[in-house]
Amino acid sequence: MDEWGIHRRWVEHESGGYWDYCDFPLQNATLEEIEAWPLPSPDDWDYSQIAARCKQYEGYAIVAGSAGTACIMNTAGFWRTMEQVFIDLATDDPAGLRLIDRFLDVQYECMVRTLEAGRGLYSIMWMGEDLGTQHSPMISMALFRKHIRPRQQRFVDLARSFGLHVVLHTCGSSSWTYDDYAEMGVTVVDTLQPEAKDMSPRYLKQRFGHKLAFHGCISTAGKVAFGTVEETIADVRQTLEIMMPGGGYALAPTHQLQDNSPTENVVAMYEAALRYGRYP
């Protein structure tokens, strides 16, 4: 159990293991139980070393936040289960919505203090929301605009008030929200699973390349995991040929590389990026 009261269990596999969510403690909680649930305070963290740590990496893009910053559905699901979160959003459940607002308030105040402590040293604020399956949105646009967009807008506004770019982590078929996010002030979208609906490099570049930059597109479920070295190089080269014109692209895996990606393919991916990812 972590400082948020979220329960996890260790699941082992052949190359190691990972922490999985379990025993969702607030799945059936009432509004009163949500109000009484102990959450950490922004005072629990030490911000005094932020400036010094940022200065250690001067010359690099320093990032505040993570894919979990302002992430509503996934985070609430750690307490409530994903099914219950969708019900909460669809029915305006007071308990579920109050939980969302409580943990976002803590995250927001922590981000305020983080950016203040590193004022002038950060380049990017990173936030996230997984919005799609491989084939479709997970919620309707109406629910997105009612419950997700306004709660995330203040995080974007905060980042922009410090002059930062905003990177949004989005797994699955998420491009249906990109016009809204660009309007909100998001400047970069991250992950970009090319096998998901309306997420191919060509579609993203043609549809959103004039308003958003891109980070990702090399599928961890594609050639780098299951292809040959030659296929991996061809995939990287094709992606670069589509995404590079006009700039605004950072080549990266769609998510963290897993143990099913052969080392030689991973090396080939980065070597291909070095070889083909620069203009003559």
Parse the chain into domains and list their residue ranges: 28-276
The pTM (predicted TM-score) of the whole model is 0.95
Please, which pLDDT band fits residue 75 given cuts at 50, 70 and 90? very high
DSSP assignments along 37-88, one per residue: S----GGGS--TTHHHHHHHTTTS--EEE-TTTT--HHHHHHHH-HHHHHHH
Place of tokens 């995991």: 225
Average pLDDT for 44-63: 96
Mean confidence (pLDDT) of the chain: 96
Strands (E), 68-164: 124-128
Q: pLDDT digit string (tens) for 217-273?
A: 999 999 999 999 999 999 999 999 999 999 999 999 998 998 899 999 999 999 999
Six token digits for residue 10: 């260790």
Q: pLDDT digit string (tens) for 149-179?
A: 999 999 999 999 999 999 999 999 999 999 9
Six token digits for residue 168: 């949004």
How far apart CA 66 and CA 70 sit, in angstroms, is 9
Domain range 28-276, its CATH number among 3.40.50.720, 3.40.50.800, 3.20.20.210, 3.30.930.10: 3.20.20.210
**pLDDT for res 280:** 66
How far apart CA 276 and CA 233 sit, in angstroms, is 10
Candidates 8, 133, 119, 104; CA nearest to 55 is: 119
